[in-house]
Amino acid sequence: SRNFSEEFLSALSAQPIDIAELKRAGFYGVPDDQPDLRARYWRIALGYLPPDKSQWLSELQTRRNEFHSFYAEFSTDLIPPHRRSAPPLPLSDPPSLLPPPSPDPPSLQSA
């Protein structure tokens, strides 16, 4: 009998991934030895990533482009009306204390 970690990794390594099998294996938890597995599991289980791994990079790129498009469109609404006549400040220039937002957790930014 395999332990839950082996069953989980087996379900995640299938091509294409059987979503029902992955959810069944994930019911007992996600192994802690690889931190990126939890984020990957939820992205697949919730339909953010397709079961076919060969589509992951293009799907992530599409999602990132959508995020940046929505951010650019709606971030102007965050500027108070009395400051809208002033030239907008680029988000990436100092002295900004916060990095630009990312649609992905750090564990998936290299994907």
DSSP letters spanning 49-108: S-S-GGGHHHHHHHHHHHHHHHHHHHHGGGS-GGGTTSPPPPTTSTT--SPPP-SS-GGG
The pLDDT value given to residue 22: 92
Whole-model pTM: value is: 0.60
| DSSP 8-class letter at 32 | S
Count Cα neighbours of 3 within 13 Å in the Cβ-side half-sphere. Answer: 4
Walk along the chain (111 residues) and give the pLDDT tens digit of each residue.
Answer: 468 788 888 999 999 999 999 999 888 788 888 878 899 999 999 999 999 999 999 999 999 999 988 888 877 666 666 666 656 566 555 555 566 667 776 666 655
